[in-house]
């Protein structure tokens, strides 16, 4: 008998009578837009992210050019910013992205309770990009903040299927040395979150 058959036979023999799945809809919450924006902002700041409110795409572009002046290698994959920053065409080999200073990406939505932004390969260019770049900037519309992770998965269920998706909450970090928090472990050293209001 193969390991597979052996394991499955053992499980069949040993698993207890089926108990029902609990409802989780009652855990789903909503909230006012302002509450969600303020919660998201305070949580993301508390975990080391920088929140930059922006009322226009122009404001974002201006901020980027001041904070990350050339010759920094900036990869912009946000269509709406193409007028200011050329849309990047990525190399096939993700190792080439090691030299990226700033990656500028657009998240699908954000989660107020934990400061996380949901983004899938459709907007990543390359799956390695948000992890290998030195600095990461994400744009999220203030209308696109959900209250909790329950709401987040409801929203994901209604969006296009993904092959790879990730929640990113702040810059990469470690506290492995005596519980001292260090920002910038293996992934991006900083996270800038452009919170876009208006159109």
Partner 1 sequence: MEATAEPKTKDHATLADTFNKDEARVDWHDKTLWFVRQKRDKAAWQIPDWEHLRETASQIKHNVLSNLHHYLTQFEKQAQQNGVTVHWAADAEDHNRIVHGIIQKTGITRVVKSKSMLTEECHLNDYLVAQGIDVVDTDLGERIVQLAGEPPSHIVLPCIHWKKEEIGQLFHKHLGTPEGNSDPQFLAAAARVHLRERFMTSPVAITGVNFAVAETGEIVVCTNEGNADLGVQLADVHIACMGIEKIIPQRKHLGVFLRLLARSATGQPITTYSSHFRKPRPGQQMHIVLVDNGRSERLGSEDFRNALKCIRCGACMNTCPVYRRSGGHSYHYAIAGPIGSILAPGLDMKKNADLPFASTLCGSCSNVCPVKIDIHDQLYKWRQVLAKNGYVSETKKTGMKGMAFVLSRPGLYRFSGAVGRWFSRYLPFTMNNSLNPWYKQREMPQAPKESFGEWYRKNKKRS
Query: Could you say which residues in the range 4-43 bind partner 1, by CB under 8 A?
Result: 4, 6-8, 10-22, 24, 27, 43
**Binding map of partner 1 across residues 88-117, x = CB under 8 A, - = no contact:** ------xx--x------------x-xxxx-
Instruction: Output b/e per residue, 15-36; b: 16+ Cβ within 10 A.
Output: eeeeeeeeeeeeeeeebeeeeb
Quick one: which of 159, 174, 197, 198 contacts partner 1 (CB under 8 A)? Answer: 174
> Quick one: which of 104, 140, 144, 156 contacts partner 1 (CB under 8 A)?
156
* Interaction of residue 73 with partner 1, rule CB under 8 A: no
**Pair of tokens at residue 180:** 């001292």
d(CA 109, CA 118): 6
Beta-bridged to residue 182, according to DSSP, are 174
Within 179-198, the residues that bind partner 1 by CB under 8 A are 179-180, 182, 184-188
The site string for partner 1 over 38-67 (x = CB under 8 A, - otherwise) reads -----x---x--------------------
141 scored as a contact of partner 1 (CB under 8 A)? no
From the list 56, 175, 197, 198, which residue makes contact with partner 1 (rule: CB under 8 A)?
175
- What's the residue count for the chain? 199
By the rule CB under 8 A, 160 interacts with partner 1: no
List 73, 84, 141, 150, residue binding partner 1 (CB under 8 A)? 150
CA distances from 133 to 91, 103, 156, 172 (A): 14, 6, 26, 11
The DSSP string of 71-108 is TS-EEE--GGGTTTSPBP---SSGGGGGG-SEEEEE-S
The smaller minimum CB distance to partner 1, of residues 78 and 133, is found at 133
Is position 176 an interface residue for partner 1 (rule: CB under 8 A)?
Answer: yes
For residue 125, what are its two tokens? 């260019």
């Amino acid at each position: 008998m193969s390991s597979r058959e052996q394991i499955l036979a053992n499980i069949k023999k040993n698993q207890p009578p089926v108990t029902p799945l609990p409802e989780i809809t009652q855990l789903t919450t909503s909230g006012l837009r302002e509450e969600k924006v303020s919660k998201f902002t305070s949580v993301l700041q508390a975990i080391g992210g920088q929140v930059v409110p922006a009322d226009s795409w122009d404001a974002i572009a201006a901020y980027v050019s001041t904070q990350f002046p050339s010759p920094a290698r900036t990869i912009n994959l946000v269509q709406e910013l193409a007028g200011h920053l050329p849309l990047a065409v990525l190399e096939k080999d993700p190792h080439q992205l090691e030299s990226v200073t700033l990656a500028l990406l657009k998240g699908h939505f954000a989660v107020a309770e934990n400061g996380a932004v949901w983004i899938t390969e459709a907007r990543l260019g390359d799956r390695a990009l948000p992890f290998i770049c030195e600095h990461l900037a994400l744009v999220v519309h203030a209308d696109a903040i959900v209250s909790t992770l329950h709401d987040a998965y409801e929203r994901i269920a209604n969006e296009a299927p993904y092959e790879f998706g990730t929640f990113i909450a702040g810059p990469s970090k470690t506290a492995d040395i005596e519980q001292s928090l260090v920002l910038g472990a293996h992934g991006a050293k900083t996270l800038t979150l452009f919170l876009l209001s208006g159109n």
